[in-house]
């Protein structure tokens, strides 16, 4: 049989959705095992969107609106943030399932169709970004969603249909999927667009390409009618800010490491082997498309925090689907069909750790001991179903250099290349970083500000990686046009009532560019109004010329 049984395939997808989606929502709360900082970033955006704010226009972020829109909508319907996240995953899976079914049914052999359908849903429903950490995390959930969407668009564009050609349907689907990437994570859209366009042109499906472009333009035009051209201009501004950021342009390993470091080299060689073997088999179009996809895979991996190459499992599916016929040999005497099969097997093997972690994450989350967890953010009913390890919430650990002035190790400071101390208008800031205990830290600062009568209707610019302190208070407000995660400049400073300088920040590397920008902006007046072991608080006064 050339295609999977349509009803059985749909049944497998439904069963996967019920089991993994059901296990996800079963605990009635989301239990964060790591990435508390990313979780604060997530909650900030969700709460701002739920209150009616629009990403890029009302606050700075390189993440597209669609990445958080389902969660924000559910919060607006009355769900807590934790359950809104869990239910949003099921909602996204339900919305995408018809497309997953069609792509698997129309493009893949029966076994591959079941494999792809299962793992596409796992990418959407998992409760960890990938990797090998044996915990749950909502961090980078939009990367998982984007991988699933990108894989569908690539399969539609690259592989011939196993059923009657439906240029209209497939073109519309590609247009919708690419628009979804544009609105979720621009990196995926920009990286995979060239390969998809070339694949459609080289396979003689220009009509499908035209339908896809028309669909994408209609969706973009409709969105622009609602939110205006300003949305796209500000989206571009936010993306350029991240690209030029010393802190966030590359969130993990360097691009060279993504290609050649021990953790990634086998994957790189597997992708290159697939390209070479396709060319040797006379599959010039397939080889060209793989040649375009490989750098896109590498770049998206490079741009994603923790650099998990989740494209490897998909590469295995793609290679099996594109295998040459039996009887073709290269100049070394290799049977190219077998060689491609072995290469695909290597890709599957290399993806096993990440994909098994994705698959088992919902089981771990459903069977954890809830007594070990406590609300991550205190003080609001909106966050009671978003919990973290009690120890990680309240245990305060920090890192501090041991080679400061007067220490026995001061003689080594120059060789350590720490750089000059950070000085804010004459105030030398302490050198330290908080390792864990961020929730307790922000909760304590918020309590202190409220007790001092300094919080009511105030907006605070924190000299740190993110300004999440307003989440812990019903008196504080977020910065207008602020950044939930710091990328550069002074976003939102014009709306700030105070500048808060932590005595020990979450990321000391973030303090230097902020301080340099504040020192350069002489029209921003800073007057100290409070100082304690936790922070120094300055009142902000914008003078003439601001």
SS3 414: helix
Which letter, b or e, does each residue of 355-370 get, where b requires 16 or more Cβ atoms within 10 Å of its Cβ? bebbbebbebbbebee
Q: pLDDT value at position 133?
A: 86
SS3 113: helix
Q: pLDDT value at position 504?
A: 93
Nearest residue to 151 via CA among 85, 104, 212 = 104
pLDDT of residue 85 exceeding 50: yes
Q: Which two tokens stand for residue 424?
A: 């804010």
Q: What does pTM read for this prediction? A: 0.94
pLDDT, tens digit, 9 for 90 and up, residues 147-178: 999 999 999 999 999 888 898 999 999 999 99
The whole-number average pLDDT for the span 255-278 is: 92
pLDDT of residue 335 exceeding 70: yes
Q: pLDDT value at position 55?
A: 95
Highest mean pLDDT among 118-127, 156-165, 366-375, 385-394: 118-127
What is the percent of the chain where pLDDT is above 70?
Answer: 98
Distances from the Cα of 130 to the Cα of 123, 309, 353, angstroms: 9, 9, 8
pLDDT of residue 374 exceeding 80: yes
**What span, in angstroms and rounded, lies between the C-alpha atoms of 27 and 225?**
41
Q: Which two tokens stand for residue 195?
A: 């390969």
Q: pLDDT value at position 90?
A: 97
Q: What are phi and psi of 424, to 5 degrees?
A: -100, 100
Cβ atoms within 10 Å, residue 8: 12
**What span, in angstroms and rounded, lies between the C-alpha atoms of 193 and 262?**
29
Is the CA virtual torsion 130, 143, 273, 355 positive or negative?
Answer: positive
pLDDT of residue 1 exceeding 60: no
Task: Name the average pLDDT for the chain.
Answer: 92
**What span, in angstroms and rounded, lies between the C-alpha atoms of 189 and 245?**
21
Cβ atoms within 10 Å, residue 158: 23
Residue 437 pLDDT grade (very low, low, confident, very high; cuts 50, 70, 90): very high
Q: pLDDT value at position 249?
A: 58
**What span, in angstroms and rounded, lies between the C-alpha atoms of 483 and 41?**
9
Element (H, E) at 438: helix 438-451
Which letter, b or e, does each residue of 265-297 get, where b requires 16 or more Cβ atoms within 10 Å of its Cβ? eebbebbebbbbbbbbbebebbbbbbbbbbebb
Q: Where are the alpha helices (DSSP H) in 367-433?
A: 390-394, 413-416
Asked if 99 and 173 count as a contact pair (C-beta separation under 8 A), the reply is: yes
In terms of pLDDT, which residue wins out, 460 or 134? 460
Is the CA virtual torsion 139, 141, 142, 146 positive or negative?
Answer: positive
Q: pLDDT value at position 492?
A: 92
pLDDT, tens digit, 9 for 90 and up, residues 507-527: 888 899 999 999 999 899 999
Task: Write the DSSP string, 293-318.
Answer: HHHHHHHHHHHSTT---THHHHHHHH
**What span, in angstroms and rounded, lies between the C-alpha atoms of 16 and 21?**
8
**What span, in angstroms and rounded, lies between the C-alpha atoms of 532 and 444?**
12
Element (H, E) at 320: helix 311-321
Residue 545 pLDDT grade (very low, low, confident, very high; cuts 50, 70, 90): low
Asked if 188 and 231 count as a contact pair (C-beta separation under 8 A), the reply is: no
Cβ atoms within 10 Å, residue 116: 25
pLDDT, tens digit, 9 for 90 and up, residues 33-81: 888 889 999 999 999 999 999 999 999 999 999 999 999 999 999 999 9
Task: Write the DSSP string, 322-371.
Answer: TPPPTT-B-TT--BHHHHHHHHHHHHHHHHHHHHHHHHHHHHHHHTS-GG
Q: What are phi and psi of 481, to 5 degrees?
A: 60, 30
pLDDT, tens digit, 9 for 90 and up, residues 214-266: 999 999 999 999 999 999 999 999 998 888 877 765 667 888 888 888 989 99
489: left (phi over 0), alpha (psi -120 to 50) or beta: left
**What span, in angstroms and rounded, lies between the C-alpha atoms of 397 and 55?**
34
Highest mean pLDDT among 282-291, 341-350, 378-387: 341-350
- Long-range contacts: 288-297, Cβ < 8 Å, 24+? 288/198, 288/202, 289/158, 289/195, 289/198, 289/199, 289/202, 290/318, 292/194, 292/195, 292/198, 293/154, 293/192, 293/195, 296/191, 296/192, 296/194, 296/195, 297/191, 297/271
Whose tokens are 């922070």? That residue is 535
Least confident of 19-33, 368-382, 432-446: 368-382
**What span, in angstroms and rounded, lies between the C-alpha atoms of 112 and 501?**
55
Q: pLDDT value at position 259?
A: 87
Residue 303 pLDDT grade (very low, low, confident, very high; cuts 50, 70, 90): confident
Distances from the Cα of 398 to the Cα of 99, 245, 407, 505, 507, angstroms: 47, 25, 18, 9, 11
Q: pLDDT value at position 546?
A: 44
Q: pLDDT value at position 248?
A: 63
**What span, in angstroms and rounded, lies between the C-alpha atoms of 346 and 248?**
32
Nearest residue to 101 via CA among 163, 38, 185, 193 = 163
The whole-number average pLDDT for the span 101-119 is: 96
Q: pLDDT value at position 132?
A: 87
Output the CA torsion 447→453→455→458 (10° steps).
-170
């Amino acid at each position: 049989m050339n295609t999977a049984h349509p009803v059985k395939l749909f049944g497998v997808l439904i069963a996967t959705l019920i089991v993994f989606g059901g296990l996800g929502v079963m605990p009635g709360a989301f239990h964060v095992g790591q990435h508390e900082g990313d979780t604060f970033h997530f909650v900030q955006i969700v709460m701002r969107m739920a209150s009616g704010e629009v990403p890029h226009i009302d606050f700075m972020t390189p993440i597209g609106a669609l990445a958080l829109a389902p969660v924000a909508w559910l919060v607006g319907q009355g769900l807590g943030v934790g359950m809104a996240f869990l239910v949003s995953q099921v909602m996204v899976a339900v919305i995408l399932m018809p497309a997953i079914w069609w792509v698997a049914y129309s493009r893949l052999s029966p076994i591959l169709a079941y494999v792809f359908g299962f793992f596409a849903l796992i990418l959407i429903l998992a409760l960890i970004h990938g990797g090998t950490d044996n915990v749950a995390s909502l961090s980078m959930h939009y990367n998982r969603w984007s991988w699933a969407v990108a894989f569908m668009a690539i399969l539609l564009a690259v592989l011939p249909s196993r059923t009657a050609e439906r240029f209209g349907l497939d073109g519309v689907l590609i247009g919708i999927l690419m628009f979804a990437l544009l609105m979720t994570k621009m990196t995926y859209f920009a990286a995979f667009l060239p390969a998809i366009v070339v694949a459609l042109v080289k396979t003689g499906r220009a009509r499908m390409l035209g339908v896809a472009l028309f669909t994408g333009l209609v969706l973009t035009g409709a969105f622009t009618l609602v939110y205006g051209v300003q949305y796209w201009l500000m989206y571009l501004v936010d993306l350029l800010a991240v690209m030029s950021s010393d802190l966030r342009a590359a969130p993990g390993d360097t691009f060279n490491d993504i290609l050649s470091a021990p953790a990634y080299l086998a994957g790189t060689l597997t992708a290159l082997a697939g390209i070479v073997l396709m060319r040797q088999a006379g599959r010039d179009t397939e080889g060209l498309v793989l040649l375009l996809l490989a750098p896109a895979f590498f770049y998206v991996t490079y741009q994603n925090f923790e650099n998990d190459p989740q494209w490897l499992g998909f590469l295995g599916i793609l290679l099996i689907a594109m295998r040459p016929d039996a009887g073709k040999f290269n100049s070394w005497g290799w049977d190219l069909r077998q060689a491609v099969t072995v290469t695909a097997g290597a890709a599957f093997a290399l993806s096993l750790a990440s994909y098994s972690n994705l698959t088992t994450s919902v089981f771990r989350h459903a069977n954890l001991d809830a007594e070990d967890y406590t609300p991550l953010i205190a003080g609001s009913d909106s966050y009671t179903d978003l919990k973290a390890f009690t120890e990680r919430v309240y245990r305060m650990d920090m890192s501090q250099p041991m080679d400061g002035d007067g220490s026995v190790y001061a003689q080594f400071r120059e060789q350590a290349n720490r750089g000059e101390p950070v000085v804010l208008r004459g105030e030398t800031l302490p050198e330290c970083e908080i390792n864990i205990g961020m929730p307790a830290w922000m909760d304590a600062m918020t309590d202190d500000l409220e007790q001092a009568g300094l919080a009511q209707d105030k907006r605070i610019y924190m000299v740190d990686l993110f300004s999440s302190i307003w989440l812990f208070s019903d008196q504080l407000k977020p910065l207008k046009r602020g950044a939930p995660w710091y990328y550069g400049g002074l976003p939102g400073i014009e709306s700030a009532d105070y500048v808060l300088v932590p005595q020990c920040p979450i990321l000391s590397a973030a303090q230097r560019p902020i301080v340099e920008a504040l020192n350069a902006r002489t029209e921003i007046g800073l007057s100290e109004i409070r100082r304690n072991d936790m922070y120094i608080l300055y009142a902000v006064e914008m003078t003439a010329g601001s």
